[in-house]
């Protein structure tokens, strides 16, 4: 056999072996896809729940606190009042804390020999801004509610030129007064003396005369 013939026989043998291997692989149907194959269909993951599915119920500490009702809402309505006072000379003022009420007493002395006219009083609600009558300077009145008591036709000076009223011109509420907070004079000129009165709570106010005294009573209401 020549060298050329040996090469042809070798090549033919190689082709025959290759063909047999291809046929053998094509007819092997018994093999299965191995477990864990990268081509296996992935399973959908379920998200993990980390908290409750409904909104938490607010605790007592997180719930909003309702606003507190002000005692001023239940205060008695003060009706305007006018009247005649004992004389044209207001000389003293006294604040008292009594059972069930606070009292402001305006004390009068005998009047002038020649009064300018009948002295009168008036009571009404005072509205801010609170100011001094002559200067217009602000007054920081203490209390939830405010009143003003004005005496007109008054003798500011006595017969020898001295001030008729010699008492305190501002009195703050003390432990003896539960509702009353402040009494302060805001006008003392041209025959007029005016007072602001500040008080707290649902109290009712009355103005009356007892002899030579005008009495402002603040009767305690519920919660005062």
Q: Domain 82-219, what fold? A: Immunoglobulin-like (2.60.40)
| Cα 82 to Cα 188: distance, rounded to the nearest angstrom | 19
What pTM value is reported for the model? Answer: 0.65
Annotated domain spans of the chain: 82-219
pLDDT mean values, one per 10 residues, the chain (224 residues): 38 34 37 38 40 40 33 66 95 92 95 87 96 92 95 90 89 78 94 95 90 94 65
Query: Residue 156 burial by CB count (10 A; 0-12/13-18/19+): exposed, middle or buried?
Result: middle
């Amino acid at each position: 056999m020549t060298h050329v013939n040996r090469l042809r026989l070798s090549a033919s043998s190689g082709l025959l072996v290759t063909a047999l291997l291809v046929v053998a692989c094509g007819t092997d149907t018994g093999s299965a896809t191995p477990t864990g194959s990268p081509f296996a269909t992935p399973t959908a993951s379920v998200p993990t729940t980390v908290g409750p599915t409904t909104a938490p119920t607010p605790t007592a500490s997180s719930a909003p606190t309702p606003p507190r009702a002000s005692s001023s809402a239940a205060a008695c309505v003060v009706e305007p009042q006018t009247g005649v006072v004992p004389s044209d000379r207001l000389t003293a003022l006294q604040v008292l804390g009594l059972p069930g009420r606070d009292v402001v007493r305006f004390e009068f002395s005998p009047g002038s020999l020649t009064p300018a006219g009948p002295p009168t009083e008036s009571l009404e609600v005072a509205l801010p801004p609170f100011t001094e009558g002559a200067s217009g300077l602000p007054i920081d009145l203490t209390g939830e509610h405010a009143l003003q008591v004005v005496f007109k036709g008054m003798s500011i000076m006595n017969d020898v030129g001295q001030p008729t009223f010699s008492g305190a011109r501002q009195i703050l509420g003390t432990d003896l007064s539960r509702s009353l907070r402040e009494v302060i004079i805001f006008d003392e000129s041209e025959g007029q003396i005016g007072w602001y009165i500040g008080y707290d709570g649902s109290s009712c106010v009355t103005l009356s005369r007892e002899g030579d005294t005008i009495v402002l009573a603040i009767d305690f209401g519920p919660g005062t």
